[in-house]
C-alpha cells in the first residue's frame, strides 16, 4: 500500500467496507446511524472521499460481523494511513474531486487514457494547461488557475521519475484544436513528440479517416495498481464517476479496440510532426 497516496488507501478501504456492509445485509442508513453520521457521509466514506477514525471503524466492523483480528488490524492501519496528507494538500483551491483523482493517480503503476478533445493532462505544457483551466466552467480565479497549472506540472513528475507508465489514445481532433493559439499548439505538439520518446509513454492517434469508433464521445482513464483492483475514472460536468469490477474489464476491452483503430506509435509520431509543421507557424 502506497503511503505516498492516502487517497488510494481511503479508496481501497471504502470499497472493502462497502462490500462488508452489503455482505452483512446492513443498509446505508443503519450503518450511518451507528456511527452518528448522515447517510451521505457514509457514502462518501465508502467512496474514499473522506476518512474515518478508529472507534467508528471498529463499531462498523462489529456490526458487519468482521471478527478476523488480522483483517481488522489491516483496516485500522489503512484508516490511519488514509488520514495522512498528500503533496497536493498544500494547494487549497483544488476541487475535492480533483484531489481524489490526483491521489489515485499518484499510486497507479499504469494509466490508459483516451481523450477526444484535449491532450492528456500528464502531457500538457504549462501554457496549454493554462488555456484549458482558464476556460473551465467553474471560472477559477487567476490565483486558482496558477495553482492548478503548478499542480498539473507537478503530476508530470510521475512520468519523468518513471514511476508511472502512460498509454494514451487521442482523436486526431486533439491535434488540430487551437487551444491557446498557434504558438501554444506548436509547443504542445513538440512536447508530445518529446514525450513519445520516453519508454514509459505511448501515444497513438485515431485518424479522421477511421470514421465512427468505440467510445468516440466519452473520454476516460483506466488506472491500474500494483496492489488492489483497477479503477475507471470518467470526468463529467456534473460530477466525476469512479467504476470498478466489471466496468474496468469492459473499458479495458474498449481501450484495446481503440488502440487497434489508432495509428501505430511510429505513424502517430509522423502525423503529429506533419500537423505541427503544416498548421502552426
Distance CA 259, CA 271 (A): 16
Distance CA 229, CA 25 (A): 23
CA-CA-CA-CA dihedral for 69, 72, 78, 82, to nearest 10:
-150
Strands (E), 21-125: 110-115
How many helices, marked H, and strands, marked E, lie in the chain? 13, 6
Per-residue pLDDT of the chain (281 residues; tens, 9 = 90+): 343 466 777 877 888 888 889 989 999 999 999 998 999 999 888 887 777 888 899 999 999 998 888 778 877 777 776 666 667 667 767 777 777 788 788 888 999 999 999 999 999 999 999 999 998 877 888 888 999 999 999 999 999 999 999 999 999 999 999 999 999 999 999 999 999 999 999 999 999 998 888 777 789 999 998 877 788 888 876 667 777 778 889 999 999 999 999 999 999 999 999 999 997 66
Residue 16 backbone class (left: φ over 0; alpha: ψ -120 to 50; beta: rest): alpha
Distance CA 44, CA 252 (A): 26
Which of helix, strand or coil describes residue 95?
coil
Q: What is the pTM of this model?
A: 0.76
CB-CB contact of 96 with 88 (8 Å): no
Tell me the residue length of the chain. Answer: 281
> What's the Cα-to-Cα distance from 48 to each of 34, 190, 223, rounded to whole Å?
19, 38, 15
Distance CA 72, CA 62 (A): 10
CA 46 to chain centroid, in Å, comes to: 18
CB-CB contact of 8 with 2 (8 Å): yes
DSSP conformational letter for 86: -
Strand partners, 203: 168
Q: Phi and psi of 101, rounded to 5°? A: -65, -45
Copy the grid coordinates of residue 202. 505511448
Strands (E), the chain: 110-115, 165-171, 201-206, 220-224, 231-234, 241-243
CA-CA-CA-CA dihedral for 260, 191, 273, 173, to nearest 10:
60
Q: Shortest CA distance to 44 belongs to which of 239, 272, 264?
A: 239
Amino acid at each position: 500500500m502506497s503511503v505516498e497516496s492516502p487517497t488510494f488507501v481511503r479508496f481501497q478501504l471504502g470499497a472493502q467496507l462497502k462490500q462488508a456492509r452489503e455482505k452483512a445485509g446492513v443498509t446505508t442508513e443503519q450503518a450511518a446511524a451507528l456511527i452518528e453520521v448522515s447517510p451521505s457521509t457514509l457514502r462518501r466514506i465508502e467512496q474514499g472521499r473522506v476518512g474515518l477514525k478508529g472507534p467508528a471503524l471498529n463499531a462498523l466492523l462489529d456490526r458487519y460481523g468482521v471478527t478476523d483480528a488480522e483483517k481488522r488490524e489491516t483496516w485500522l492501519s489503512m484508516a490511519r494511513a488514509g488520514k495522512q496528507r498528500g503533496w497536493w494538500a498544500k494547494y487549497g483551491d483544488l476541487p475535492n474531486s480533483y484531489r481524489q483523482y490526483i491521489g489515485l493517480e499518484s499510486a497507479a503503476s499504469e494509466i490508459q487514457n483516451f481523450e477526444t478533445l484535449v491532450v492528456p493532462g500528464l502531457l500538457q505544457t504549462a501554457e496549454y494547461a493554462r488555456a484549458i483551466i482558464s476556460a473551465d466552467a467553474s471560472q477559477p480565479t487567476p490565483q486558482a488557475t496558477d495553482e492548478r497549472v503548478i499542480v498539473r506540472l507537478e503530476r508530470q513528475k510521475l512520468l519523468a521519475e518513471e514511476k508511472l507508465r502512460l498509454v494514451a489514445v487521442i482523436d486526431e481532433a486533439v491535434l488540430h484544436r487551437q487551444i491557446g493559439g498557434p504558438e501554444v499548439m506548436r509547443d504542445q505538439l513538440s512536447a508530445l513528440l518529446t514525450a513519445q520518446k520516453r519508454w514509459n509513454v505511448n501515444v497513438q492517434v485515431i485518424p479522421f479517416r477511421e470514421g465512427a469508433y468505440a467510445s468516440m464521445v466519452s473520454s476516460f482513464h483506466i488506472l491500474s495498481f500494483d496492489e488492489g483492483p483497477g479503477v475507471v475514472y470518467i470526468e463529467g460536468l456534473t460530477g466525476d464517476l469512479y467504476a470498478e469490477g466489471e466496468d474496468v474489464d469492459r473499458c479495458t476491452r474498449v481501450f484495446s479496440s481503440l488502440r487497434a483503430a489508432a495509428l501505430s506509435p511510429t505513424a502517430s509520431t509522423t502525423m503529429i510532426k506533419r500537423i505541427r509543421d503544416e498548421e502552426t507557424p
